[in-house]
Amino acid sequence: MERRDKFSVLLPTYNEKDNLPIIVWLLLKAFTESGNDFEIIVIDDGSPDGTLDVAKQLQTNYGDKKIVLRPREKKLGLGTAYIHGIKHATGNFVVIMDADLSHHPKFIKEFIGKQKEKDYDLVSGTRYSGNGGVYGWDLKRKIISRGANYVTQVLLRPGASDLTGSFRLYKKEVLEKLVQSCKSKGYVFQMEMIIRARQFGFTIGEVPISFVDRVYGESKLGGNEIFQFAKGLLYLFATT
C-alpha cells in the first residue's frame, strides 16, 4: 500500500494575531475539502502583539495534531524559521506561505494537483503568468516587483516566472537540501531557493495565484529591502 501524502504547512509569524485565526480557518477548510492529511506548524518569532496566545487558543480549538506550535524567542529571519520548522514537520511535503492573508489556501489544492502531474520537486505560486496577479499594490510596488523579477530573469535565467514569491510546495527532502545551501536572508531568500533548485537540477512546476496585499498590519517591503535585494541578486549572479 502506498504511503499517504501528508502536507506540513510552515507558517512563520510576527505580529499576525488578527490574521492567524483567519488563515488557520482557511487552511483547515482547504485541506478538509481536498481530503489531504495535514498539519500547520506555527513558528512565531516572539511577536509582542500576542500572536502566540492566539496560536495557543487555536491549538486548544483544533487540537495539537493539526496545530503545532514551535515558537522562538526573537526574530531570527525567514530562512532559519524554515530550518526550524522542517525539523518538526512530519509530512513528506512542505507548504510555505505567508500568514498575512496575501496567500489564499484555496490554491494549495492546485499546487498538489500540479505536483502530481509530473512528480515535481517543487511547485511555485506565480503572480506573473497565466491568470496570476497582484491586488492592493500601488504602482510603485508593482514596478519594483516586476522590475526585480525582470532583472533577475535576464541575469539568472532561473526557469521560473516568479522568484520572490513565498507561496510554494516542496518535497520535504528537497526543501531541506535547498534551505541548507542558501546563504541569503530576507527578501532575496526566496529567489535564491529557486536558483539553487535549478542548480541541483530539481524540477519546478508553476501555478498562477492571485496575491492580495496585507489586510492587517504593515507591509515589510521598504528601501532597505530593495537595496538588500539588489545586493543579493549581484551575489547570486557572481556565484551561480
pTM of the model: 0.83
Over residues 134-146, mean pLDDT: 70
What's the pLDDT band for 191 if we cut at 50, 70, 90?
A: confident
Among 59, 72, 70, which residue's Cα sits nearest to residue 28? 59
Greater confidence (69 vs 131) lies with: 69
How does residue 49 score in pLDDT terms, banded at 50, 70 and 90?
A: very high
Q: Which residue has the cell 532559519?
A: 80
Identify the pLDDT of residue 220.
Answer: 52
Judged against a pLDDT cut of 70, whether residue 219 lies above it is answered with no
Residue 118 cell numbers, joined: 509530473
Higher pLDDT, 238 or 223: 238
Buried b / exposed e over 231-240, threshold 16 CB at 10 Å, is ebbeebeeee
Domains located in the chain, CATH noted: 6-238 (3.90.550.10)
Q: Pick the residue with more confidence: 16 or 132?
A: 16
Least confident of 13-22, 27-36, 147-156: 147-156
Q: Does the pLDDT value for residue 240 go beyond 90?
A: no
State the Cα–Cα distance between residues 59 and 34, nearest whole angstrom. 21
Beta-carbon contacts of residue 189 (< 8 Å; ≥ 6 apart): 77, 78, 79, 182
Is the model's pLDDT at 18 over the cut of 70?
yes
Phi, psi of 103 (to 5 degrees): -115, 125
Residue 158 reports pLDDT greater than 70: no
Asked whether the predicted pLDDT for residue 54 surpasses 80, the reply is yes
Q: What's the grid cell of residue 234?
A: 549581484
DSSP calls for the chain: -PPPPEEEEEEEESS-TTTHHHHHHHHHHHHHHHT-EEEEEEEEB--TTSHHHHHHHHHHHH-TTTEEE--BSS---HHHHHHHHHHH--SSEEEE--SSSSS-GGGHHHHHHHHHHHT-SEEEEESSSTT-EEES--HHHHHHHHHHHHHHHHHH--S-S-SS---EEEEHHHHHHHHHH----THHHHHHHHHHHHHHT--EEEEE-EEE--SSS-----HHHHHHHHHHHHHHHHH-
Q: What integer pLDDT is reported at residue 52 of this predicted model?
A: 96
Dihedral angle at the C-alpha atoms of 20, 225, 157, 166, nearest 10 degrees? Answer: 0
The pLDDT assigned to 134 comes to 67
pLDDT for the residue 226: 66
The pLDDT tens digits for 81-125 are 888 999 999 999 999 999 988 889 999 999 999 999 999 999 999
11 or 142: which carries more pLDDT confidence?
Answer: 11
